[in-house]
Amino acid sequence: MKKKVDFLIIGSGVAGLSYALKVAPYGKVCMVTKANEDESNTKYAQGGIAAVMVGTDSYEKHIQDTLIAGDGICDEEVVRMVITESTERVKELIEWGAQFDKNEKGEYDLAREGGHSEHRILHHKDNTGFEIERALLEAVHKHPNIEIFDHHFAIDILTQHHLGKEVNSRTPDIECYGAYVLNLKTNKIETILAKVTLMATGGAGHVYSTTTNPTIATGDGVAMVYRAKGKVEGMEFYQFHPTSLYNPNESPSYLISEAVRGHGGILKTIDGKEFMHKYDERKSLAPRDIVARAIDNEMKTRGDDYVYLDCRHIDKNDFIQHFPNIYQKCLSLNIDITKDMIPVVPAAHYMCGGIKVDKTGLSSIKNLYAIGECSSTGLHGANRLASNSLLEAIVYAHQAAHAGIENAKTTNYCESIPDWDAEGTAHPEEMVLLIQSLREVQTIMSNYVGIVRSDLRLQRAFDRLEILYKENEALYLKTTISPKLCELRNLINVAYIIIKHARQRKESVGLHYSINYPKK
């Protein structure tokens, strides 16, 4: 059975939800999301959203901070567009119901994070993403044109390939007609035809063993577009957050927001000595790539498992007021931040590259747009500036909605797409095979394609991954589809692209650091 909609949105984080609200007045919107409707990276965002909201700040300062963090390879036109839109788009988020903290004077309580020359981060305590997701979901639920289908897993986008035509990366006009989606409540694969499809599937933190991302972050959107021969770029730039809580048995890793360093938290080695001055004059508030690499270096040269974040000098009530969840989380592990330092380690956090899009969010595939973390717009360059991703998502939701509304007026459904053929497939093999392969992918990526890389490590990662790729493709072709199998397939695809792009880049820049090409 086929469903027909004007707009198909894959993913219900800040990107998908804000886009839905914008296109809904112009047609029928179907949003599919693979877990509970609120489960997303968005929900766990702590620090906040960067925007120019007061006269002491300026667009130019925020633009320069973004360009510096991006280490010379941002698309400056895109940076200028996103930052100058920041005020309007954040106001819109507030109109949709998101609340941000204010000070006693009734002004927004703006925080500071690494790489920012000003206090410009709007936040809601230390759970800003939760608040944004809540407000957007409430607004979406009220709209009669939007239907959300939770526990619906998008498997692949539909293109000419599904009409039996050959499609390769040189095919000039690849078109998207919608997606095959596995309804996890019925276990049936549905065909959803759409005039316009939006990929808003978020990041891929689970390609590494240690990540701050929830389990949904398996790079599905990037892998789907790559398989459909769409363009993907910048995947070598995987951002590691410097300070996730060191608690080896916890997955995903709990984040200790960069705003804590913005509030005065200082990084120290296990013997209580400061070290960031050796690496950058901005010390603990240098951009993330620099801080994560410095921590990695200290841990490796000293043989330590973690470093400390010292907050003991910060006023207790002030800390609790700004970071109530972080305070409680630490306390639950017997870490009293007024007396004890917080053990922290870097963890995979944000995918700076992704599906290549233009300024309207259009991918290299016709009728397919991509926004949010799964996209590569040119804003982040080689390293994302803290709290610029929620901003990028809402600005591109606006851009892509305008373009998509026009696009839908002149696009027809492709009725001849066949339904999914499950003929000849057997029940899934033992789960142990999938779990073991997933661990192997994560170990390969963490050991060889992490914060510090080399030609030899990348070659080794490539060779090892090839075996896993072949094994998993064989499994995929002969067994019935399950989310775990698809996610493993997608993570293997994403790992392959990260390694491929890392091998192509013969320099150290931003988040891609290779010992074979020392930074000048």
Q: How far is the CB of 520 from ligand FAD (least distance, A)?
A: 30
Site string for ligand SIN, 314-353 (x = CB under 6 A): ------------------------------------x---
Query: Among candidates 105, 99, 153, which has minimal Cα distance to 130?
Result: 99
Choose among ligand FAD, ligand SIN, none what residue 41 binds, the Cβ cut-off being 5 to 8 Å by kind: ligand FAD
| Cα–Cα distance measured from residue 291 to residue 267, given in angstroms and rounded to the nearest whole number | 9
* Alpha helix (H) residue ranges in 96-240: 128-142, 220-227
Comparison of 389 and 472: residue with beta carbon closer to ligand SIN: 389
Q: Which H, E and C letters describe 494-516, residue by residue?
A: HHHHHHHHHHHCCCCECCECECC
Nearest position to ligand SIN, beta carbon: 47
Q: How far is CA 57 from CA 50, 52, 504, in A?
A: 11, 6, 38
| Residue with smaller CB distance to ligand FAD, 152 or 457 | 152
Instruction: Give me the phi and psi of 382, to 5 degrees please.
Output: -90, 0
Among 46, 86, 218, 244, binds ligand SIN (CB under 6 A): 46
User: Cβ of residue 267: shortest distance to ligand FAD, in angstroms?
Assistant: 19
Q: Which is nearer to ligand SIN, 267 or 401 (CB)?
A: 267
**Which residue's structure tokens are 């509970």?**
36
Look at residue 365 and give the partner it binds from ligand SIN, ligand FAD, none, a contact being a CB closer than 5 to 8 Å depending on partner kind.
none
Nearer to ligand SIN by Cβ, of 127 and 197: the residue is 127
CB of 50 to ligand FAD, least distance (A): 7
Of 239, 33, 252, the C-alpha closest to 133 is: 33
- The helix/strand/coil state of 175 is strand
Within 350-369, the residues that bind ligand SIN by CB under 6 A are 350
The token pair that represents 27 in the structure block: 């047609």
Of 386 and 417, which CB lies nearer to ligand FAD in the complex structure? Answer: 386
Instruction: Quote the CA–CA distance of 368 and 196 in Å, as a whole number.
Output: 6
If you write DSSP's letter for every residue of 51-104 in order, what string do you get? ---STTS-HHHHHHHHHHHTTT-S-HHHHHHHHHHHHHHHHHHHHTT----B-T
Rg of the chain (C-alpha set) = 22
For residue 470, the tally of other CB atoms under 10 A from its CB is 11
Q: Provide the 10 A C-beta neighbour count for residue 191.
A: 19
Minimum gap (Å) between residue 38 Cβ and ligand FAD: 8
Q: Which is nearer to ligand FAD, 14 or 267 (CB)?
A: 14
Give catalytic status of residue 288 as yes or no: yes
Window 383 to 402, contacts with ligand SIN (CB under 6 A)? 386-387, 389
What gap in Å lies between CA 24 and CA 140, rounded to an integer?
Answer: 9
CB of 259 to ligand SIN, least distance (A): 5
Nearer to ligand SIN, 363 or 389 (CB): 389
The residues that touch ligand FAD, with contacts defined as CB under 6 A, are: 10-16, 32-35, 39-42, 44-49, 128-129, 153-154, 200-202, 212-213, 216, 220, 255, 350, 372-373, 387-390, 393
- Rounded Cα distance between 400 and 502, Å, is 29
Rounded least distance, CB 265 to ligand SIN, Å? 11
Which of 89, 112, 288, 489 is catalytic? The answer is: 288
Sequence-separated (6 or more) residues with CB below 8 Å from residue 113: 47, 50, 121, 257, 258, 259, 261, 262, 285, 386, 387
Residue 14 interacts, among ligand SIN, ligand FAD, none and using kind-specific CB cut-offs from 5 to 8 Å, with ligand FAD
Give the residue with the Cβ less far from ligand FAD, 45 or 290.
45
Cβ atoms of 492 and 465 closer than 8 Å: yes
Count of residues touching ligand SIN (by CB under 6 A): 9
Q: Give SS3 for 62.
A: helix
Quote the least distance from Cβ 386 to ligand SIN, whole Å: 4
What secondary structure letter does DSSP report for 417? P
| Sign of the torsion angle spanned by Cα atoms 40, 123, 309, 261 | positive
Min dist. Cβ of residue 390 to ligand FAD (A): 4
Residues 244-273 that bind ligand SIN (CB under 6 A): 257-259
Q: Which does 35 bind (CB under 5 to 8 A by kind): ligand FAD, ligand SIN, none?
A: ligand FAD
Q: Which two tokens stand for residue 400?
A: 């892509």
498 is in the binding site of which of ligand SIN, ligand FAD, none (Cβ under 5 to 8 A by kind)? none
Q: Does 41 bind ligand SIN (CB under 6 A)?
A: no
Is residue 225 a contact partner of residue 155, using CB atoms and an 8 Å limit? no
Active site residues: 288
Which positions lie near ligand SIN, rule CB under 6 A? Answer: 46-47, 257-259, 350, 386-387, 389
